Structure 1
Amino acid sequence: MRIKAIQGKQGIGTEVKDVTYVEAARWGKYQWWRYLLGLTIILFAWMVAANFVSAIVALALGGKEGVAALSRLDYAAFGSVGGFVVVMAGFPVFLAGILIAVSLIHQRHPRTLVTAREKISWTRIGHGFVAGFVPWVLLGGLGQYFLYPNSFSFNSDLKTFVLFVPIALVITAIQTTTEELFFRGYIVQGASLIWSNRVFLAIVSAVIFTLPHATNPESQEGGWIGMFLGYFVGTGLLYAVVSLIDGTTELAIGAHFANNLAYFLLFNWSGSFFTTPALFSISEYHARFYDFTSLVLIPVFLVIVFRVFKRDKASEPVS
């Protein structure tokens, strides 16, 4: 059964009625040089302008010493909440770069990075959130607690935690949505103009997603096996495949938000790139446990989003 999509125009003027978000790449202006220009704008916003914003926030929080701490990547100098804000401060700029590229360069609605329909299905995003949050907490969080209880410690500073919750909700939503719009949205759409094969699109998206995460402490601790299973397969490839099957990035947006939110608010490894005042702090990173968890969570997530939840008319996969 096909989803009822918004009507668009292909380059030759042919009306398009039932398409996925991937096919929406051919709406508006989609010449190769526009994707090259759009990608340049996005990367500039992400790699240059975003770092400048983080430097401004570091200056506001710590003065010249804050800027020096940022230059040596010493986020602990800002405190657990301040360090989180400094690291995440550039994501709104990253998001702005994506919106500018799609709206001005390609001249189509940014919503087409999510769905080809007239409206985004917030219900489907909620499905992705639940399917990503509940299994992760039960297996990745509580499962690890029962196996390695000595590595867990409760955060007794509840005042800081309560202050951090609304900050984490807003900033994490911006961060994860931005990454999905870029890696599963813009990158997949651009690659589809080269070859629309779904295997090719999923692999390209997963590889590009994995590369910037390769330097994370979790990747260093887990080695190439952990990076492959955790970032390439368990996140990059999984979210790309789910988006291609569903015809939207709604599930991926919800799941990514759930994954990061649980990590920032509930179970945070003290040596991670994002050290936060989570409810529980984990002193030791058990790489092989997370590898196993990634493998188990994949089929569980797929069963929940495609079997447990009933799809509404706005989100049924394209046949």
Structure 2
Amino acid sequence: MGIIEQLLRINKNQKLWYYLPFSLFFLGIMFLNWISLRYSAVSTNEIIKMNITKYGKNVNFLITIGPLVFMLIFLIGWVLFVHKQSLLSLTTSRSTVDWKRFLFSFGLWSFVIIGFFIYGYLKDPQDYVLSFKLGPFIVFFIFAVILIPLQTSFEEYFMRGYLMQGIGLATRSRAVALISTSIIFGLMHLANPEVEKVGATIMIYYIGTGLFLGIITLMDDGLELALGFHAANNLVGVLLVTSDWTAFQTNSIFTNINSDSGISPWEYIVQVGIVLPLIIFVFAKKYGWKNWKHQLFGRVK
């Protein structure tokens, strides 16, 4: 039984309109935030730099990530008390959460991230400086290890869990749920300073990554792989390297000082078109995925 159908088994009287208040509330906040920044005289990156100057990098990190942590708590409460749905049914179609899946995905993508970083450092060592400072890094490390998994968990529970289930049940189409949540996931990042710096081509990466996360969720009938991947992507990446034009400008080990983005559209295409499909291939072989047509494009029973 798939993760979308799991909800019907748990609660056959589930009311679809229950999905609207929370979804519209969060997406409305994201849209208003983008509008305010789009027409503001001050860019997102300038706001980040002002906060860093005023509060320091670690407090700015808390300001940046804190709202999504609270949204996770809000979402869990909404699911438990309004939908009367268990968190397990939002996480996986299995009888228990498979933490081995989470750890495998986390470890695999961490290995890839570190490999890409080493390649970039050896290729262009002049773009990186060692910015490690023990005291600030330890504080940041504690904050990051606790809060980033909560932040990424909210994005996965909302996008690949809550919203995918809601859209799937409303349209009875796995394909519509997959494609729509992937696009929404990409649009969620429109206000990021990376979009200002790199341009609209970075949406290839955001939407492509959303599609990848949706595929592995539907094929595996659970969020465990997506949760592990997303946590590794944000946590390991931000601990390793930061720059002065990203959403997370932190007390990382290295700082990328390249005044340009240093990333061409082709690198996004390679990651989305080659690297992520290879990760899907590894998962598919390890977990014996079958019936791809139904899992990704079939009707919700």
Residue 119 (structure 1) aligned with residue 103 (structure 2): no
Residue 203 (structure 1) aligned with residue 179 (structure 2): yes
How far apart, in 1, do the equivalents of 2:267 and 2:236 lie? 15
Distance 1:41 1:270, change over 3 A: closer
Matches within 5 A, 1:206-221: 206-221=182-197
Residue 33 (structure 1) aligned with residue 12 (structure 2): no
Distance 1:277 1:290, change over 3 A: farther
| Among 223, 227, 243, the residue aligned to 1:253 | 227
Q: State the partner residue of 2:206.
A: 231
Q: State the partner residue of 1:270.
A: 244
How far apart, in 1, do the equivalents of 2:171 and 2:183 lie? 16
Q: State the partner residue of 2:110.
A: 133
- Measured against aligned partners, the alpha-carbon deviations of 1:97-138 in whole angstroms (never above 9, x if no partner) come to 211221122111012111022210000111111222111221
Task: Report the identity percentage.
Answer: 25
Gaps of 5+ in 2: 31-45, 292-301
Amino acid at match of 1:135: V
Amino acid at match of 2:250: T
Distance 1:212 1:281, change over 3 A: same
| Among 280, 286, 290, the residue aligned to 1:302 | 280
- Measured against aligned partners, the alpha-carbon deviations of 1:146-205 in whole angstroms (never above 9, x if no partner) come to 222111011241222122212110000100011100011111000101333333221111
- Measured against aligned partners, the alpha-carbon deviations of 1:17-43 in whole angstroms (never above 9, x if no partner) come to xx1211123232422222223435656
Q: State the partner residue of 2:129.
A: 153
**What do you get for the CA RMSD once the two structures are aligned?**
2.5
Gaps of 5+ in 1: 1-18, 48-70
Q: TM-score, normalised by structure 2?
A: 0.82
Q: State the partner residue of 1:67.
A: none
| Among 200, 217, 239, the residue aligned to 1:243 | 217
Higher RCO, 1 vs 2 (CA within 8 Å, ≥6 residues apart): 2
Runs of 4+ residues over 4 Å off in structure 1: 40-44, 316-319
Distance 1:107 1:272, change over 3 A: same
User: Does structure 2 retain, via aligned residues, the 8 Å contact 1:209–1:232?
Assistant: yes
User: Does structure 2 retain, via aligned residues, the 8 Å contact 1:268–1:276?
Assistant: yes
Distance 1:216 1:149, change over 3 A: same
How far apart, in 2, do the equivalents of 1:225 and 1:272 lie? 15
- Measured against aligned partners, the alpha-carbon deviations of 1:235-274 in whole angstroms (never above 9, x if no partner) come to 2111001111111111000000000012210022222111
Deviation at 1:317, TM superposition (A): 4.5
How far apart, in 1, do the equivalents of 2:202 and 2:247 lie? 16
SS in 1 for 2:194: helix
SS in 2 for 1:153: strand
User: Does structure 2 retain, via aligned residues, the 8 Å contact 1:81–1:164?
Assistant: yes
Residue 86 (structure 1) aligned with residue 68 (structure 2): no
Size of the aligned set, in residue pairs, is 271
User: Does structure 1 retain, via aligned residues, the 8 Å contact 2:189–2:206?
Assistant: yes
Q: State the partner residue of 1:172.
A: 148
State which drifts further: 35-44 or 111-120. Answer: 35-44
User: Does structure 1 retain, via aligned residues, the 8 Å contact 2:16–2:170?
Assistant: no
User: In proportion to residue count, which structure has more helix?
Assistant: 2
Residue 22 (structure 1) aligned with residue 4 (structure 2): yes
Distance 1:92 1:224, change over 3 A: closer
How far apart, in 2, do the equivalents of 1:247 and 1:129 lie? 18
Distance 1:36 1:106, change over 3 A: same
